[in-house]
Structure 1
């Protein structure tokens, strides 16, 4: 990176760090136009190692966070190929002792996710786990930042979780953005979001006692259950015991939200039970018809009577 940009990102004043980030964004846009991918990787590596991972240096970490967000914005459609380098250092900043670093980590991840959209879903477990803890943060600014990020991730999950396939998992010939909608949906491609991978984490977190965290969990359970193709209800036995405990929470908000979630699950189970019963009755009716037809043929009865 240019020495001037490095100094700006290290500055204790947010406005100066922002100016440095804007300059960095333009630099990366120019490099992208020139297809200087190696230089882009070096800049991202520098942002990670010398800034975002600079423990006990809050100004440097904050500079790294805003710098990585600027890089994500500049990369745009090419961002997916760099997320493995960009996301981990931002996640690491969620646990920093300095509340400002934690807040700027929320801001950085928000800007990254806004560009990445469905491409951020492979990191869902890590982001969810961080948000689960930040929802109970002692600093109001951090909680507010986490809430904004949570809303964005929920929007992405609602829109994309059931069907989104990462561009990195598509056949090479259709990885270009304009061709993404043209692939054969019958191809067995792994979606970016995995409910099966998420459930073990939910099982761990469902026994928390903090009311803010419990509200957070119920909100996510309700959202995931509202996405038909995910079929969260099939995993209900895995976390139902912990969810029942929420009904005795001192917070009325938690109790009401939990009651609503359980009622929706009950309605869904009843609906599935009716469908299953209907299928069984239909199958039984077909079997009975076949048996009767077989008996008539065996006895030599004609169809004309």
Structure 2
């Protein structure tokens, strides 16, 4: 009787100069991007006397959250010293409707260009793609004049409309490519069953587009939350987003430069996009693979 031979496990890959070089490159790249984040983090927990000692990379001797509290509720962002919390809530008021409206309009446009062969659809899609690569700074002055004429400049509806306009080409491209990768038989079967334009969109297409929705949310949250110039121009003085108030904090030339407060305010501003990305990064990769880069 012959004893069964257990299958051998995977052989370890040999260590080659190319592999060593690859890992060295990855480690150096990671350190290059993580070192500034590390410096910001440890500096935000230091006191100003410790920062003046010049030990930039050293850990804080006596960690303190004082700078974080000051940045959130007491830092001067102009004439008022209410901290960056005011800008946080302004950014939320801008972000939520802007993300919802831009994704809703972009997904609907991408769906229409994928399955409903309207006249001039190719020309419209090409025009959207051309506009997507034109610097948006070119459109700021004409849009300011238009929005002032119709009475929505310096308001939440105005900045939401701006983010929808500038997000439409990218959102349309993402959803059009994703819907174009789906079997056309699904659309035809729904049409045979009597479903119309919006019923197919809401009951057939969007339930299948969860990975692409995650991609769109990550892109829009990151872009809208990090926006500076559009919020500065179109949001109005009472609705300035967090990025504008952060600029007022870190670029202030009055009094003592509080580096720990600057670092804490910067980290607080970047917190929302980081949380969104790390919470849904797996879905982001899946959405890209599912059709975000397909033609």
TM-score range, shorter chain: under 0.3
TM-score by length of 2: 0.25
Q: In proportion to residue count, which structure has more helix? A: 1
TM-score by length of 1: 0.24
